[in-house]
Amino acid sequence: MTVTGPDSEVPEALRSLADGRAAVRLRAALAVGTAPDARYVGALVERCAVEDEFFVRDMLTWALTRHPVALTLPALVREVGSERARARSQALHTLSKIGDRRAWPAITREVLTDADEEVARSAWRAAVLLVPEGREPELAAVLATRLGRGGRETRLSLSRALAALGEVVVPVLREAGAGPDPEVRAHALATERLLRDPDAGFEAAVEEAKRIVALGGDG
């Protein structure tokens, strides 16, 4: 972990980010976010790439949001291209929390279709928040290619992302719902039901969609 600057001594909080105890790392991330310093950004991003504990990662993200976007955005965009899945996922998550649309070019088709489900889910959440006005149909078309894939959590995440885009997703959902793959059809129908009724439970929507598919209907 490298900290650049005029001081040769690494602040205690930064040393503690690498401590073997999660509670110590959590307090360190809180301390760094409470007293932002440009020298901390690199260390925070590096720790995000390897941190195993969810609550510590969440605090690291919070600490990064406390620093100037001019410093954090370039570093996080670089991490989106990392070979490490955890680095990609956490960088995308943090970009979604920062919410600066200048990060949009990093949300590529490759990222949206990442083979790692955690990375893909983070990319979808970031994409619906960062997509420029007018690019929603294009994003919906890419997201629709992932219908029917992954486990329950991944399918629910995709449905929520598509529903968040609003009515622009209806054409791609209708097209997918009329396709030959029953898993894709059911997922598309369930997603459209969530779009129409956000309060509907995902499991209920999926079961209803599967029933319709089994009966040969299109909803």
C-alpha atoms less than 13 angstroms from C-alpha of 162 in its C-beta half-sphere: 31
Contact between 151 and 120 (Cβ < 8 Å): no
Residue 130 pLDDT: 97
By the 10 Å C-beta count (0-12 exposed, 13-18 middle, 19+ buried), 32 is classed as buried
| Mean of pLDDT values over 208-212 | 58
Residue-level pLDDT at 205: 55
pLDDT tens, position by position, 168-208: 999 999 999 888 888 998 899 889 888 887 766 556 555 65
* Per-residue model confidence as pLDDT tens digits over 10-27: 578 788 898 889 999 999
pTM of the model: 0.85
Give, as one character, the DSSP assignment of residue 38. G
146 — pLDDT class (breaks 50, 70, 90): very high
Q: pLDDT tens digits for 79-102?
A: 999 999 999 999 999 999 999 999
∠ CA 117-1-87, nearest 5°, is 10
| pLDDT above 70 as % of the chain | 86
DSSP 107: -
